[in-house]
């Protein structure tokens, strides 16, 4: 399995989702995103969302991958 996989090419208007090894760097993730699913914007994909909490501890990003405990699901924004 690849270290970084695009799992949802479109999430809302400005986001996409990837499944990545926990130790994947932002640079690695953004490189794959911009190569495999260009955003169509001038700057391309520019930020990996590393920590966001929504009304409670159970609603936070990134999310643990249900299929592999060594992977996380990250949102990437343009």
> Is pLDDT at 51 greater than 90 in this prediction?
no
- Give the burial string for 35-54 (b: 16+ CB within 10 Å, else e): eebebeeeeebeebeeeeee
Residues 45, 58: Cα–Cα separation, whole Å: 27
Q: Give the pTM.
A: 0.88
Q: Nearest 10 degrees: CA dihedral of 39, 42, 45, 47? A: -150
pLDDT at position 57: 60
pLDDT digits (tens, 9 = 90+) for 22-44: 999 999 999 999 999 999 899 99
pLDDT of 2 reads: 94
Q: Which two tokens stand for residue 5?
A: 């996989």
């Amino acid at each position: 399995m690849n270290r970084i996989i695009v799992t949802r090419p479109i999430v809302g208007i400005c986001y996409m989702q990837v499944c990545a090894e926990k130790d994947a760097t932002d640079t690695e993730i953004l490189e794959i995103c911009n190569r495999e699913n260009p955003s169509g914007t001038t700057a391309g994909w520019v930020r990996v969302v590393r920590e966001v909490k929504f009304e409670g501890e159970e609603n936070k990003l990134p999310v643990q991958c249900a299929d592999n405990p060594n992977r996380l699901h990250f949102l990437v924004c343009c």
